[in-house]
Structure 1
Amino acid sequence: MDISIINNNTYRLARIDEPGRDGIIGNDVEIRRGRHGLSVVKSGRKLIDGLRVEPMGDNLIRIVTDADYQAAFGLGERFDRVNQKGLAKNIAVIEKFTRQGELTYCPVPFFLTDSGFGMFVDSYCVTRFDFGEGRISVDICRDNFGKMPDIYLFTGSPKDMVSSFIRLTGKPVLPPKWALGPWMSGHRWNTQAIVEEQIDEMEKSGLPFSVLVIEAWSDESTFYIWNGAKYDVRPGNEAFDYSDFDFSESQFWNDPKALIDRLHEKGIRLILWQIPAMKNTENEQQRRDRQYLKEKRLVAMNKDGTPYEIPDGNWFNGSMIPDFTNPELRKWWFSKRKYLLDMGVDGFKTDGGEFVYKEDIIFSDGRTGKEMKNGYVQSYLESYGEFIGKSRVLFTRAGYTGQQKFPFTWAGDQISSWEEFRAVIVAGLSAGLSGIPFWSFDIAGFAGPMPSVELYERATQLAVFTPGMQWHSEPIFGQFAEIMPSSGGRNDRSPWNMARSYGDDSLIERLRFHYNLRMNLLPYIYSESVRAAENCEPLMKHLCLEYPEDSNTLNIEDEFMMGDLLVAPITSENSAGREVYLPRGEWVDLWSRKEYNGGRKVFVETGKERIPVFLRKSGCLMLNLGKELRLGSPVGNDMNKYCNLCIWLTGNEGQYRFRDDLGNDAMITWSGGRIKCDMRSGHLNLHILS
């Protein structure tokens, strides 16, 4: 085993199955090989004792370390618990429709502990982590090239370790500001008329939106041609321009370019659904495309030289999967989709990617299914990320190491239930602790019976303060679809369909406050997003990242920080308040402005229309407010200007750096009643809120 220093809190262990150096001393860390294995001592404190390698066969080893710890965080987006101590997990990309439990679409082979050490296994192969009492073990296998992966050890605070892991695996990509506004989506929307109807409903409701997602837009064969378009079939190697399609007789999309232009005029961006699969259909263009890919071997291949197909019993069974490790495939795939960007599409919902079910299938770069079980989705997202550039976004479910480079990640498929609502909060916190800054979920779930009004409102109230805010619904005849008699055959989770289904005429008015609030908060959310991307930190932070010395935070799985805001969602039915743990310091209730001393639990009554939210003393909140200068005041969805850029300062003194996408960079300091705004660039007119 060879040991090397990456930086002041990151160390690499290479050739872990071979003899090597005895140890290293660097900065304030000492790593020594002893009779019982490696020990890591930092500032005189032993973080790791007895880290050793135990052979488990020709191709498998187990790394074991004695560990005195109370919490283990990370392993990707986890739905069962944030603190994984006492559990064992396989690191494997798995597609699980609803009730994910111990499974995940987005695993990451990285963890950190509260005792000051963490580990990353730099492998695409399935690994297994076991967090026992006083002992942590990791099972690691050789890849198909016969190589054992490098192991990275981290030391320091939880925030230090997450930041170091992110820097090691790729700095986060900052999404455009429009991606931080409210999103609307529904699988039922399979015609231009339906989408136009949703736009009309949106305008009637007075709710602001910045993104619209269309899933059922394509012919369901090629997944790059608008459904209903007429065209001359082309050889499999040739691409289309928008002008090649005739929509004059389409019953689905009569003028998609005009639709996109209308959306853009209203300040709304368009995201289209994608899937990395080549279905076997009767569509002639698809048949030619499939034949071309077969002949050129641009898909994953079986050992016998035939194309791999997704096995029966799985989503998209019988489909071939494109080999994104092959540059020729990438060139071919995106030549077919380039016209979509040319007509103004703003990004893609990159669904799927969990399609590798056999270890012996072969990819162009030499990897096999053994590595591509986890590596396939990364090749898929890297390819799309390169295609769209930085001004557009991806919205992806599956992922792996380096997921922070492809915003946004969303939590996948949940049933509309309180249990799933609680699980998705756990998922968001664990994703952040695994290095994923920009995360989202479907408000109140997307599958099964319609959510109750109470669940829908509580989920909306939470979504206002998460990195992404979106509602979505499954196909009308989906696996768990149950249509309420009063819903008119629609299962949309839109505010207007919820109000119509339950006969609740005041629902939209109640929700309008929260949608306006999201737009009020957007200057702050974007500025914090800049900070998160720059500092390699999550935007939605588990409390241990901000208060590492406070052991009371370790098992809190229903509170989080966003900047100086502490958010405590209400996750139980028939609750008008909840107990909130406030860490040390002083806190100000966002709604009542009541002040609290921290380091204790407090019960907070909020009623049905709010959740507990606190601003940390000496904190700052940047707000775009309407003419009334109050929270929830309408400002529309125009992100190129501010109605009234307001600043709310707490505490006797503090400092905050504000940045936006309009060229403004300001350092704001306050002390003893004096406020100073040092403009590093741009020009701001600020309203000080008292």
Structure 2
Amino acid sequence: MKFKFFLLFLLLLKYAGLDAQTVQQVEVAPGVIKLNFGVADKFNPYNFCDQKPAVAAMKALPKGKLPFDIKDILISITDRGAVVEVPLKDDEQLYGFGLQVGSFNQRGLRKKPIVNDNPLNDLGYTHAPIPFYVSNKGYGILINTSRYTTFYCGSTNKLNNGAKALSESNGGNSVEELYKNKANANGSVTADIPGAKGVEVYVFEGPELLQVLQRYNLFSGGGALPAMWGLGVKYRVKADFTQQQVGKMAAYFRDNHMPCDVLGLEPKWQTTAYSCSYVWNPKYFPSPSQFIDTMKQRGFHINLWEHAFVNPASPLYEPLKTKAGNYLVWNGLVPDFADSSASNLFANYHKQTFVEKGISGFKMDECDNSNLAYGSATWSFPEHSSFPSGIDGEQMHQMFGVLYQKAVYNIYKQMNIRTLLDVRASNAFASSYPAALYSDTYDHDEYIRMVTNSGFSGLIWSPEVRESASIKDLMRRSQTAVLSAQTLYNSWYLTNPPWLQINVEKNNKNELLANDKQIEADVRTLLNLRMSLVPYLYNAFADYHFKGIPPFRALIVDYPNDKNVYNISNEYMIGQGLLAAPLTDKADERKVYLPEGVWYDFNTGQKYTGGKEYSITCNYTGLPLFVKEGTILPLAEPVEYITPSSKFEITCRVYGKTASTTLFEDDGVTFNYEKSTYNTVALNYINNKGMAKRSGNYKLKRYNIKGWQVIQ
């Protein structure tokens, strides 16, 4: 009789849309708790992550405390799919969801992070649709799914039969307020995951927002540490340039002492590009090996444009034919990167054909789906596609970019060579991949916002410079590029560099500006400033790798209790001591809020008291940058390109009476740092005296501290 009642109870639970099992809870790393309910999808982001958590570094973080009882996270499974509800306090601020373009503070919004080649508005469409958000209350929530998921960020109110009706009607509100749901909706963040029969939820503890991000990055294997030359300057040449024309462009940079480390080749280097053959085009590049060697001798790394859709003319076509999706893209195969054998075939070909011949990196384009905002945008594979591994088209779209970069990155990792890739899509747990995201969108304000948003999700963002509407636009964009993870000029449709002629038609007719040499000199000044900052930036990326600290991050990360920074999306921290406040061509002056403490103008040394807003200006050859008191800024004499033997002559600029910092020193090109083959150079300024102390196992000295400059 009891057994029959139990079966009846299970049946009732089933028809109620519930499951008899309970939520399983386990701490999978220090400060990281995984909740599991139902049968989670096989093809989820963490299952594709090969990197092991940096447990020792995670243990060193202070213990976190959630602002709610973890048992109050509710998970349910219905015929529709999975629903996750996370408690939300009235004064919480929410950030993240990947590389968001149209929004910053996500509180009160409905976000649907879906990979899309042209992100727009505040829908959540993005090049990196990461189902991960963080709170200024000191925790983060990651829904480990590759399905299209909608997050209601405190934007809805559930029916509560025990609650009293509101005594006031909303009749006095404006129409705009009513449709923006100004009824103080709160209570929870709800994630709706259609089609899921179960779900895993990762909870990252703080105690502060910075430690949440550190835990996430360290759990993902530690942040990326790119090749040192990747922090120099990258220039992409015109799509139809021949080997000879690329050589002339290389000569231009060296003859005019314009810093440049990387030259990127665009589609015409291949025999076919849409889809790709991955075969050198003999008409444009008759002797590729000689070309690569010549460029290497002149200090240039070569980066190749491609995408992952395999043309019938490619040597990869037949081997991948049975390891691809059942739909074509531009008549090319879509490799099943969820299958390790397909990924290995793709990677091994690239290794033998390109990397072993000296190619330093790839630009991985078109891995971000066609534009979902338009019915006419249909170039990519459909969501109902099927793949031999069992992954479907929807999940493959979400994961395609990260699986693609993983396949290519592993080539370099196995060869003990570091790189910095370009990619158009990514996803969760990809912090360790040295791949800079880029976009075909070109709004400067959005590009700045994407720098601040990138730090919430373990991403590297590249606000590349193409053509510009004016000289002012060019210079402001160049300043932002210099103050980002990757300084990139993309001239894929320009014969000459954009600083010689901003008008596209005239540029391609070789009709240069009358004052082209002056503009060139101004750009050179900015690029030299970038090269001066390389030791500082390199140390910031070392902190990213070893400590999980995002090198570029929003002010809210460092100042989570300052209400003034809750919605500031056009300022960001770089490393431990720099605050960037980029300008656009819309104005020569802007408002800048400086958080608590004392700050100094990078260009003038002017001193500011924090906790206030100021109006600032910056000329075209300076940097809209502020330095925090207590910072030692190691400024190097600029070099035109970086090699493993490059030595940096450094002047330590000291801000305040006492200051300290470190420099990370290694060969800059291998993974030998994983075996502790590196130095830490401790810099201290105390009692009017500067001191540098080197410790570690790396035998060479990359940094020579030649002087100290004090700014008070």
Range into which the TM-score falls when normalised by the shorter chain? 0.7 to 0.9
Provide the residue aligned with 2:178 in structure 1: none
Measured in 2, the distance between the counterparts of 1:331 and 1:14 equals: 31
Seen in structure 2, the aligned counterparts of structure 1 residues 15 and 97 have a Cα distance that, compared at 3 Å, is closer
Provide the residue aligned with 2:323 in structure 1: 298
- Checking the alignment, whether the CA contact within 8 Å between 1:541 and 1:562 is kept in structure 2 is yes
- Any residues of structure 2 matched to 1:217-296 within 5 Å, and which? 217-220=269-272, 222-228=276-282, 250=283, 252-279=284-311, 285-286=313-314, 289-294=316-321
Pick one of 118, 122, 127 that aligns with 1:96: 118
Seen in structure 2, the aligned counterparts of structure 1 residues 62 and 46 have a Cα distance that, compared at 3 Å, is closer
- Any residues of structure 2 matched to 1:327-342 within 5 Å, and which? 327-337=340-350, 338-342=352-356
Seen in structure 2, the aligned counterparts of structure 1 residues 118 and 342 have a Cα distance that, compared at 3 Å, is closer
Provide the residue aligned with 1:344 in structure 2: 358
Q: Which runs of 5+ in 2 are unaligned?
A: 1-22, 41-62, 156-184, 370-379, 496-501, 668-677
2:422 aligned with 1:395: yes
Measured in 1, the distance between the counterparts of 2:493 and 2:564 equals: 42
Q: Report percent identity of matched pairs.
A: 21
2:531 aligned with 1:519: yes
Deviation at 1:46, TM superposition (A): 4.3
Deviation at 1:489, TM superposition (A): 4.1
Seen in structure 2, the aligned counterparts of structure 1 residues 289 and 409 have a Cα distance that, compared at 3 Å, is closer
3-state SS of 1:441 partner: coil
2:214 aligned with 1:175: no
Measured in 2, the distance between the counterparts of 1:44 and 1:503 equals: 59
**In the TM superposition, what whole-angstrom CA distance separates every residue of 1:332-378 from its partner, at most 9, and x where no partner exists?**
32343312122211111122223564344333333222422312222
Deviation at 1:476, TM superposition (A): 7.0
Deviation at 1:102, TM superposition (A): 4.3
**In the TM superposition, what whole-angstrom CA distance separates every residue of 1:4-32 from its partner, at most 9, and x where no partner exists?**
334553322111699xxxxxxxxxxxxxx
Seen in structure 2, the aligned counterparts of structure 1 residues 150 and 605 have a Cα distance that, compared at 3 Å, is closer
**In the TM superposition, what whole-angstrom CA distance separates every residue of 1:297-341 from its partner, at most 9, and x where no partner exists?**
1111xxxxxx3223xxxxx4x432011233332343234331212
* One-letter amino acid of the structure 1 residue matched with residue 471 of structure 2: V
- Checking the alignment, whether the CA contact within 8 Å between 1:173 and 1:405 is kept in structure 2 is yes
Seen in structure 2, the aligned counterparts of structure 1 residues 185 and 502 have a Cα distance that, compared at 3 Å, is farther
Measured in 1, the distance between the counterparts of 2:119 and 2:80 equals: 36
* One-letter amino acid of the structure 2 residue matched with residue 226 of structure 1: W
Q: How many residues align?
A: 596
Measured in 1, the distance between the counterparts of 2:657 and 2:704 equals: 22
Provide the residue aligned with 1:82 in structure 2: 104
Measured in 2, the distance between the counterparts of 1:98 and 1:290 equals: 35
Q: Which runs of 5+ in 1 are unaligned?
A: 19-40, 229-249, 301-306, 311-315, 491-496, 626-633
- Checking the alignment, whether the CA contact within 8 Å between 1:223 and 1:274 is kept in structure 2 is no
* One-letter amino acid of the structure 2 residue matched with residue 137 of structure 1: V
2:641 aligned with 1:637: yes
- Checking the alignment, whether the CA contact within 8 Å between 2:222 and 2:548 is kept in structure 1 is yes
Measured in 1, the distance between the counterparts of 2:595 and 2:604 equals: 19
3-state SS of 1:513 partner: helix
- Checking the alignment, whether the CA contact within 8 Å between 2:596 and 2:611 is kept in structure 1 is yes
Seen in structure 2, the aligned counterparts of structure 1 residues 350 and 524 have a Cα distance that, compared at 3 Å, is same
Q: Could you state the TM-score of these two structures normalised by the residue count of structure 1?
A: 0.80
Measured in 2, the distance between the counterparts of 1:643 and 1:369 equals: 49
Deviation at 1:621, TM superposition (A): 0.7
Measured in 2, the distance between the counterparts of 1:370 and 1:98 equals: 20
Deviation at 1:488, TM superposition (A): 3.3
Provide the residue aligned with 1:509 in structure 2: 521
Seen in structure 2, the aligned counterparts of structure 1 residues 641 and 213 have a Cα distance that, compared at 3 Å, is same
**In the TM superposition, what whole-angstrom CA distance separates every residue of 1:239-289 from its partner, at most 9, and x where no partner exists?**
xxxxxxxxxxx3x11322222112211221111112110235xxxx43x75
Measured in 2, the distance between the counterparts of 1:264 and 1:431 equals: 32
Measured in 2, the distance between the counterparts of 1:290 and 1:395 equals: 24
3-state SS of 2:527 partner: helix
Deviation at 1:566, TM superposition (A): 0.9
Pick one of 412, 423, 432 that aligns with 2:455: 432
Deviation at 1:548, TM superposition (A): 1.9
Measured in 2, the distance between the counterparts of 1:46 and 1:173 equals: 32
Deviation at 1:483, TM superposition (A): 6.3
* One-letter amino acid of the structure 2 residue matched with residue 328 of structure 1: S
* One-letter amino acid of the structure 1 residue matched with residue 661 of structure 2: Y
3-state SS of 2:96 partner: strand
Seen in structure 2, the aligned counterparts of structure 1 residues 467 and 291 have a Cα distance that, compared at 3 Å, is closer
- Any residues of structure 2 matched to 1:354-503 within 5 Å, and which? 354-355=368-369, 357-389=381-413, 390-415=417-442, 420-436=443-459, 438-443=460-465, 446=466, 450-475=468-493, 484-489=504-509, 500-501=512-513, 503=515
Pick one of 12, 28, 34 that aligns with 2:34: 12
Deviation at 1:134, TM superposition (A): 2.1
Deviation at 1:598, TM superposition (A): 0.9
3-state SS of 1:322 partner: coil
Measured in 2, the distance between the counterparts of 1:487 and 1:370 equals: 41
Measured in 2, the distance between the counterparts of 1:505 and 1:651 equals: 38
- Checking the alignment, whether the CA contact within 8 Å between 1:125 and 1:372 is kept in structure 2 is no
> Which region of structure 1 is more displaced relative to structure 2, 349-358 or 508-517?
349-358
Measured in 2, the distance between the counterparts of 1:161 and 1:104 equals: 22
Q: Could you state the TM-score of these two structures normalised by the residue count of structure 2?
A: 0.78
Deviation at 1:180, TM superposition (A): 0.5
Provide the residue aligned with 2:168 in structure 1: none
Provide the residue aligned with 1:656 in structure 2: 661
Measured in 1, the distance between the counterparts of 2:395 and 2:639 equals: 49
Deviation at 1:109, TM superposition (A): 0.7
**In the TM superposition, what whole-angstrom CA distance separates every residue of 1:484-523 from its partner, at most 9, and x where no partner exists?**
4422347xxxxxx9xx257543100111111111111111
- Any residues of structure 2 matched to 1:113-124 within 5 Å, and which? 113-124=135-146
- Checking the alignment, whether the CA contact within 8 Å between 2:129 and 2:426 is kept in structure 1 is yes
Provide the residue aligned with 1:186 in structure 2: 237
Seen in structure 2, the aligned counterparts of structure 1 residues 386 and 45 have a Cα distance that, compared at 3 Å, is closer
> Which region of structure 1 is more displaced relative to structure 2, 537-546 or 678-687?
678-687
